Amino acid sequence: MLGCSLVLSVQAMYSSSDDVVELTPSNFNREVIQSDSLWLVEFYAPWCGHCQSLAPEWKKAATALKGIVKVGAVDADQHKSLGGQYGVRGFPTIKVFGANKNKPEEYQGGRSSQAIVDGAMNALRTLVKERLSGKSGGSSYNKQSSGGSKKDVVELTDDNFDETVLNSDDVWLVEFFAPWCGHCKNLEPEWAAAATAVKEQTKGKVRLGAVDATVHQVVSSRYGVRGFPSIKIFRKGEEPEDYQGGRTRGDIIEKAMDLFSNNAPAPELVEILNEDVLKKTCEDSQLCIIAVLPHILDTGASGRNGYLDVMVKMAEKYKKKLWGWLWTEAGGQMELEASLGIGGFGYPAMAAINARKMKFALLRGSFSETGIHEFLRELSVGRGSTATLGGGVMPKINAVEAWDGKDGELPVEEEYDLSDIDLDEDFEKDEL
C-alpha cells in the first residue's frame, strides 16, 4: 500500500450500533469542542487498509471506555475540511482532545484495543490532575470563540475596505453582519474559529473579515447587502461572488482551502542536490513524486527541458494534493535508483514515495502528460501496484552540483604523443 492507498472495499467502517461516535463538520463542534469530556478521535479513510485493520480494535476500545472517555471517528476522505483543520496528512491519525480542545495532541501509542484504552486512561489522569491543580479543564468554547480568536477576523470599515480587501493579493471571505441578528451571533464563533485555522493553514493567503453593515453602510450598499449575515468572496481584479456554503467552521474552512488551492502557485520542481532536499520534500508531503531523467548527454538541454515542462504541468494539475516534486539525473543517485528498482525500466522513470509508510509506486506507462496523469490519478483513488522501499529506509543521497541549464559536454580525452615511442622495426606484418 502507498499511504494506505490500495482500495479494498469502500464502505462505512462504523455504524450507529457501535459505541464509536461518527463525527462530521455539522456535529464536531457540538460533540467534541463544546464538550467537557476527554475525546479520542480517529481520522480515517474507508479505502485505507491500516484503517480497516484498526476498526475492530477501535470499536472494542470505545465499548470499554463507554461512559469514561468519548471515542469518535471522522471519515476524513469525505470530510476533508475537518482533516485539514487538524493537520491530518495520513491515515489513520488519532487525536486526543483534552483540556484544551483547541490544541489536540497526537496519539502515539499502539493500535490494539488494550493500548488505546491505556492511552486514554493516561490522558484522563493528566486531565484530572490539571483540574485539581486549578488549570482549566473544561471547554474553552465560550472563552475563546470556540477554537478561534476574534483578532484573526479583520474588522473592515468604509474607510479601510478598499485598501485592505480590494487592493490585496490575498483572497478574502467577508461577512456582512448586524449586531442584533441572531444568525450572525450563531455564526460569530464559527467565523472566528475558521479565521484562525485558515490563517494558519494558508499562511495568511486567505483571510476572513467582518463588516458591521449597520454602521458601515457605504460598502454594504455597494455590494447589495440586504440580509444578514451575508458572506462574499473577494479576489483581486474580479467581481465578488456570494458564498453559498454551510455556516459551520468546517464548511467555511473547506471553502477557504479550496480557494487557497485554486489560487496558490504550483509546488516547485526541485533537483535532488543533497540529502536535505529529499528529506525535507518527502517528509513534509504526503507523497513526493520523483523523476529520474536521462543523462544530459543523451537528451541535451532541450530534451531535458521538455521532460521538466511535463512535470511542471503535472505539478500544476495536482497542486491541490500538496505533493512534493523532485528530479535527478540518471546515474546521479544510484542508491535511490536501486531502492526504487528504476534502472530496469529505462529513462525517464518516475516513482511516487510515501516517506511515512516507506512505500512507493512506479510509473509503468509513458513519461508524458497522459501517462503521468493516469499514474497519479490511480494513486489518488487508491489503486496501483506498490512495494516497500528498498531496505525500508530512505536511501543515501549524494551531494551533486545543480544542472546549469546547458547541454552536456563530453569529457576531453588526453592526447598522447606517439613520436617518442620506439616501434620494433623487425615487426613482421601479417600477410593476408
- What residues are annotated to the active site? 48, 51, 181, 184
Q: What would the grid cell of residue 90 be?
A: 495520513
**b/e map 181-220, b = 16+ CB within 10 Å:** beebeebbbbbbbbbbbbbebbeebbbbbbbbbeebeebb
Cα dihedral 145/74/111/354 (nearest 10): -100
What is the C-alpha to C-alpha distance for residues 374 and 380, in angstroms, rounded to an integer? 10
Q: What would the grid cell of residue 54 be?
A: 484498526
Q: What would the grid cell of residue 201 be?
A: 493553514
What is the C-alpha to C-alpha distance for residues 289 and 281, in angstroms, rounded to an integer? 10
Q: What would the grid cell of residue 414 be?
A: 588526453
CB atoms under 10 Å from CB of 10, counted, come to 12
Contact 350, 292 (CB under 8 A): yes
Sign of CA dihedral 398, 401, 404, 410: negative
